[in-house]
Chains A and B, each alone.
Chain A
Amino acid sequence: MRMRASLAALLLAVLAGLSACGKKGGTTKEDGLRRAYDSEPDWNDAQHIVALGYQEAQGKRIFYAQCVWCHADATPAGPSNRSNVTPTPPLMNDGAVLNAESDEYVQNIITLGGSAMGKSPMMPPYGRVLSEEDVRAVIAFTRAIAQPAYQIPARPGAKFPAK
């Protein structure tokens, strides 16, 4: 009986290994994915592709134009400016840091800049460059790629959580 169980386990392990190999062979290039405007590979696990809705996709576009330079480790130009900035800015997918912040707070820090919110002045204000909708889109994008995943907070007393 034990023999049969271990055989089954071995078989499963081999199958799992094979399917993992299959996945590896099927990876698309990173550049190709950046061109996929409505999806983004998980920054921690390129195999995992996050599908983006309209707003999140707009956020991705704005993120890759404005924010990526300091809030990611890989940029369209190659090197990142993140290491030149003190204190080191959070990665935009860092759920451990950003999930705890409310949409309103993130909206404010993008719009008004770091110094207005008691944070580093190295974060400039974007309120006169990005519209409110743009900022909301960027937030939606960061929520979509957050690791660990972002949970929409339930409003107190609400039966159904509403965004």
Chain B
Amino acid sequence: MPAEEMGKLSRGIRLAFAISSVVFVAVLAISPVKDLRREWKQYKRAYVRFAQTRADTKRLLADYHSDIDQIWIPSMNVVDRCTSCHQGITLPSLADRAVPQPFRAHPPIPHRPKEWGCTVCHRGQGPATEVAEAHETTLAWEQPMLANRFIQASCGTCHRADLPETPKLNRGRQLLAELHCVGCHRLQDVERPAMLGPDLTNIGTKVTREWIYKWLKEPQTLTDKDGNVTVNGYETEEEPRMPKFRLTEQELRSLSAYLSTLRSKPVEAVRFDPRVVAALAKKPDVAQQGEVRFRQMFCSTCHSLAVTRAGETKLIGGDIGPELTKVGSKVNADWLAAWLRNPQSYLAHSKMPRYQWSDEDLYTVTQYIRTNLTDSDLLSNVPQLGAAAPEEIQAGRRLFLEKGCASCHAIEGISPQRDFGPDLSALGAKNVSELEFGRATIPRSLVSYIQAKLTNPVSVNPAARMPQYALNAADLDALTTALLSMTGSSAPSGMQKLMIPRKDAAFHPAGAFGEVYERYKCYACHKFNGYGGDLAPDLSYEGSRATRPWLVDFLKNPQTLRPTLVLRMPQFNMSDKEAGILADYFGMALQNPDVNPASLDARLFTPQIAALGKQLYEVKFQCQACHTIGNSGGYVGPNLTNAGSWLTRAWIAAWLKNPQALVPDTIEPRRSFTENEIKALTAYLLTLRQSGKAQPKTAQREALRGAPERAGE
């Protein structure tokens, strides 16, 4: 174009050209400026400024570069860019709480963040580079970060067996099992036990219709506004097993009518020896005599009673069986005596041991329960229900299924309901959009949904069938943690292959031992080879630990070895034969391979070396800080007054070498004794015998039979 023609273009057009070029350049510049101002870049720069205010600037900036940081672990599908902003997580000098976030160091945990990434534990969106996208629920991402309160849920995603480091999760899992959630819901790694609630096939022979009505209306449990749970009006820390169902008056009448007519197998009344009854009936203190027996037999190890001390009423006793404060007003007299004599004839899965009763004991204890453990007001607010009408029974039977009772309670002829409630085995991985909040005005998140549902099921769904549980704040959080840990097969990362499964080894031996073991339900309190309760010591290696004569004596007349224990081994009134069968089996089968009786010759233990051991015990190591001998010493560890009769020499020596190898969770510290010190201490402990008490008869008999463990004498 010729120059003169250029000049002909009007000024206006030229101006427009100039402006549009400037605008064009400016528009082009927006993108790089925007890029410079991206959130993560701002944090990068802020970190540099922060590091420059610190004394150890050089160390803090050693690994710094201006790009996105990323932890990439292909095997777990982890792409975590969290460290782009959280730049100080591995720097120990930034552990102080005064260090501002996001730069603070991660507190020490068993897994190193660089090896595991962040989202494996904290959840949230790993590849995100914006604060909101990474941490919260957004339109494009529904899995927000897990609040620190529930972080142990992430441990449980892989560690399906309990870890000592995760008490909250463990408690939650315990609650899942104890509250029988598995009755209605499918849960990850929680097996359905043989019995959830009691079998109700013959409930009509046990309690009255009025009592059933009362129980259904106000199952023993009340919760005050602070979450403190009371049972029958007494304080307890135990959670109730029977939840409260929201039943109408009509439903209460129908269900109680139906259940009270369930009496297919009549109670076989115990026939007491008439001479015993005649002799006892005249005595005015039968009930007191029964109370003494009740205490001597240590029923309180499994059952609690309300006790008033200093104006405060509290439940004292164990929680394996139900609390019994008012049981005398609950059960029928004939049923009670028959139950005590043989619980399994009424309830095959009952954990209650079948005691050896004398007629006298059974009569007095029954009288005690019927006279003293009563409450005349128990049924005072129950209307007169009268006989059950056929239509009520019909309706009650229908309700029993509709309300889901059959999920926990068996009745002969009614097939149990499986999966009555929704499948919860992947609840922890649920998206918010999959949850039904109804009209509840709670934050739209999985955690608030779970907590609302557990606190009050109808708050999120007015038609909910789930009953009302009474949970205090700590248990609510624990249960939420356990539920969040169940992410099913849709775990957020490729963690399925990392899962460490849970193993439960049932131990039900047969033969003579199996019979005694089942009769006294040893596994209700003790563990055998990894199976059983944890109230009492693990007996997997009892045969290595205790001498046979001591075992027989103890089984026949258990005394506590640990003075601080409130719950003690019940007095089963075992026969000599039964105690012998148990002791023999312990000696044959429950042995630790590392405790070798042949390794220590009894002749090694001379009085001189025992005297040296006494010196070591009392002066050098001062074991009396925790152990009692005679009347002095501490009561953290077991009483050693009778250690020489109780423990085998091989066990003592092995124990002193490494207690945790024999009982992993014992609190006895493992020390660095020399071989000679172990020998001397063992020799001394073997000299310790209970004095002032005649040698027990069985022990004498054992001595005559030439029992092997008589070392140290």
Is the CB of A84 closer than 8 A to any CB of chain B?
yes
Determine the distance from Cα of A19 to Cα of B469 in the docked complex, in whole angstroms.
31
Residue on B with the closest CB to A29?
B228
Verify B149–A38 contact, CB threshold 8 A.
Answer: yes
Residue on B with the closest CB to A39?
B474
Known: A77-B564, A121-B620, A160-B55. A32 touches B473 (CB 8 A): yes
Determine the distance from Cα of A10 to Cα of B92 in the docked complex, in whole angstroms.
52
Which one of B228, B633, B671 lies within 8 Å of A84 (CB-CB)?
B633
Is the CB of A148 closer than 8 A to any CB of chain B?
no
Is the CB of A2 closer than 8 A to any CB of chain B?
no
Is the CB of A48 closer than 8 A to any CB of chain B?
no
Is the CB of B95 closer than 8 A to any CB of chain A?
yes
Verify A81–B475 contact, CB threshold 8 A.
Answer: no
Q: Which residues on the B side are within 8 Å of A152 (C-beta)?
A: 96
Determine the distance from Cα of A65 to Cα of B167 in the docked complex, in whole angstroms.
12
The contact string, 1 if C-beta is below 8 Å from chain A, for chain B 50-93, is 00001110000000000000000000000000000000000011
Q: Which residues on the B side are within 8 Å of A58 (C-beta)?
A: 165
Q: Which residues on the B side are within 8 Å of A81 (C-beta)?
A: 625-626, 634-636
Q: Which residues on the B side are within 8 Å of A162 (C-beta)?
A: 56, 92-93, 95-96
Is the CB of B171 closer than 8 A to any CB of chain A?
yes
Residue on B with the closest CB to A58?
B165
Determine the distance from Cα of A77 to Cα of B564 in the docked complex, in whole angstroms.
6
Which one of B95, B149, B164 lies within 8 Å of A61 (CB-CB)?
B164
A38 smallest CB distance to B (angstroms): 7
Is the CB of B672 closer than 8 A to any CB of chain A?
yes
A142 smallest CB distance to B (angstroms): 17
Q: Which residues on the B side are within 8 Å of A158 (C-beta)?
A: 55
Is the CB of A117 closer than 8 A to any CB of chain B?
no
Determine the distance from Cα of A126 to Cα of B626 in the docked complex, in whole angstroms.
14
Determine the distance from Cα of A70 to Cα of B669 in the docked complex, in whole angstroms.
14
Known: A32-B474, A77-B564. A65 touches B96 (CB 8 A): no
Determine the distance from Cα of A126 to Cα of B478 in the docked complex, in whole angstroms.
30
Verify B171–A163 contact, CB threshold 8 A.
Answer: no
Q: For residues 35 through 84 of chain A, which have their beta carbon under 8 Å from a beta carbon of chain B?
A: 35-38, 53-55, 58, 61, 65-66, 69-70, 75, 77-79, 81, 84
* Residue among B171, B226, B475 with the highest chain A CB neighbour number at 10 A: B226
Q: Which residues on the B side are within 8 Å of A159 (C-beta)?
A: 54-55
Number of residues of chain A lying within 8 A (CB) of chain B: 46
**B: contact size bracket:** 35 or more
Verify A78–B634 contact, CB threshold 8 A.
Answer: no
Is the CB of A124 closer than 8 A to any CB of chain B?
yes
Verify A70–B625 contact, CB threshold 8 A.
Answer: yes
Known: A35-B475, A163-B95. A77 touches B237 (CB 8 A): no
Determine the distance from Cα of A29 to Cα of B633 in the docked complex, in whole angstroms.
32
Is the CB of A4 closer than 8 A to any CB of chain B?
no
Which one of B56, B226, B622, B669 lies within 8 Å of A26 (CB-CB)?
B226
Q: Which residues on the A side are within 8 Å of B672 (C-beta)?
A: 125, 128
Is the CB of B168 closer than 8 A to any CB of chain A?
yes
Determine the distance from Cα of A17 to Cα of B418 in the docked complex, in whole angstroms.
55
Is the CB of A16 closer than 8 A to any CB of chain B?
no
Is the CB of B349 closer than 8 A to any CB of chain A?
no
Determine the distance from Cα of A126 to Cα of B55 in the docked complex, in whole angstroms.
36
Is the CB of B660 closer than 8 A to any CB of chain A?
yes
Verify A54–B107 contact, CB threshold 8 A.
Answer: yes
Q: Which residues on the B side are within 8 Å of A163 (C-beta)?
A: 92, 95-96
Verify B564–A79 contact, CB threshold 8 A.
Answer: yes
The contact string, 1 if C-beta is below 8 Å from chain A, for chain B 96-112, is 10100000000111000
Determine the distance from Cα of A109 to Cα of B54 in the docked complex, in whole angstroms.
33
Determine the distance from Cα of A36 to Cα of B475 in the docked complex, in whole angstroms.
9
Q: Which residues on the B side are within 8 Å of A123 (C-beta)?
A: 625
Determine the distance from Cα of A78 to Cα of B620 in the docked complex, in whole angstroms.
29
B438 smallest CB distance to A (angstroms): 30
Determine the distance from Cα of A69 to Cα of B563 in the docked complex, in whole angstroms.
13
Determine the distance from Cα of A37 to Cα of B165 in the docked complex, in whole angstroms.
10
Known: A121-B619, A125-B672, A160-B54. 13 other contacts (CB 8 A): A27-B226, A32-B228, A38-B149, A58-B165, A69-B634, A69-B667, A70-B634, A79-B564, A81-B635, A84-B634, A122-B622, A124-B669, A128-B672
Residues of B within 8 A of A (CB): 54-56, 92-93, 95-96, 98, 107-109, 149, 164-165, 167-168, 171, 226-228, 235, 237, 472-475, 478, 564-566, 619-622, 625-626, 633-636, 660, 667, 669-672
Q: Which 10 A-B pairs rank lowest in CB-CB distance, beginning with the nearest?
A: A122-B625, A77-B564, A84-B634, A128-B670, A35-B474, A69-B636, A121-B622, A124-B669, A159-B55, A31-B237
**14 contacting pairs across A/B (C-beta < 8 A):** A28-B227, A28-B472, A33-B474, A69-B667, A75-B564, A78-B566, A79-B635, A124-B621, A124-B669, A128-B669, A128-B672, A159-B55, A162-B93, A163-B96
